[in-house]
Amino acid sequence: MNSTKSDPVLLDFPAEGVGRLTLNRPSVNNALSLEMQAQLSTLFTDLASNPDVRCIVLTGGPSVFAAGGDISSMAGVGPIDIYQRHTERVWAPIQHCPKPVIAAVSGYAFGGGCELAMHADIIIAGESASFCQPEIKIGIMPGIGGTQRLVRAVGKSKAMNMALTGKPISAYEAWVSGLVSEIIEDDAVQDYAIKQAVKIARMPPLAAEQIKEVILAGMDASLEAGLALERKANALLFASDDQKEGMNAFIEKRHPTFKGE
């Protein structure tokens, strides 16, 4: 899983239990080329199966998250070519990653960049970050979840306004709307995201994965179905060694050591 400085996505491990993926096409504001998307897919697949990684940070670095799709790769192609790219398969490992994912967003998260950020479970944004679905301005529409995830995050009215006008919203507007989890000073976003990832990585990983799975599954289920999923997932965790360790540590007033077992 080693990456080189020329790769469109860089992988490193800044803290125990934390894997970080950094979009690495700064000359084009991290436009999501087909190569970059393919590498993201491969790296998410690898990290999902790596027992030493318990939380993933996804970032574009301190200046820009991602300014959108790579328009040059789409301008001259037809509908069959776009269809046969099957982006839903490429993005599936991100969508279905069982481990918590934190997006650290500085600067622009436009178009595909906004859609990529919305694949994360937690979005930490810098004060000057902005989010946008501008596809309508070039005669198309969001195609990787920008209509579906956005409306689930911010509601119909805000999603319609963003998608139909292409107007960016600020980090503050995104936070008020529920798209962003936290707003941090611009120069502190990266460090803060790592600190939050470390906190999550120290939690029992089986519980973290079950929480993520149940929240996501329950979003599109009825309340009763979601509650049933929750009860069964909670009961399942009582079969884990981590549950015993967590409760014993609480009773004994010590820090627990979770092994994911």
CATH assignment at residue 214: 1.10.12.10
pLDDT digits (tens, 9 = 90+) for 166-223: 999 999 999 999 999 999 999 999 999 999 999 999 999 999 999 999 999 999 999 9
Q: What are the start-end ranges of the H helices in the chain?
A: 34-48, 79-84, 87-95, 112-118, 148-154, 156-165, 171-177, 189-201, 205-219, 223-237, 241-252
Alpha carbons 30 and 228: distance in angstroms, whole number? 41
Give the Å distances, CA to CA, from 234 to 27, 58, 137, 238. 47, 28, 46, 7
pLDDT value of position 2: 58
Domain count, the chain: 2
Pair (51, 81) in one structural domain: yes
pLDDT value of position 87: 83
Pair (50, 163) in one structural domain: yes
In single-letter form, the type of residue at position 193 comes to A
Pair (35, 110) in one structural domain: yes
pLDDT tier, 3 (very low <50, low <70, confident <90, very high otherwise):
low
Give the Å distances, CA to CA, from 145 to 113, 163, 232, 239, 246. 11, 11, 29, 36, 37
pLDDT digits (tens, 9 = 90+) for 14-53: 999 999 999 999 999 999 999 999 999 999 999 999 999 9
Mean pLDDT for the chain overall: 94
- Mean pLDDT along residues 123-143: 96
pLDDT tier, 75 (very low <50, low <70, confident <90, very high otherwise):
low
pLDDT value of position 1: 55
Give, as one character, the DSSP assignment of residue 59.
Answer: E
Q: What pTM was computed for the model? A: 0.94
Q: For residue 83, is it within any domain?
A: yes
Expressed as residue numbers, the domain containing 127 is: 9-201
Q: What are the start-end ranges of the H helices in 111-170?
A: 112-118, 148-154, 156-165
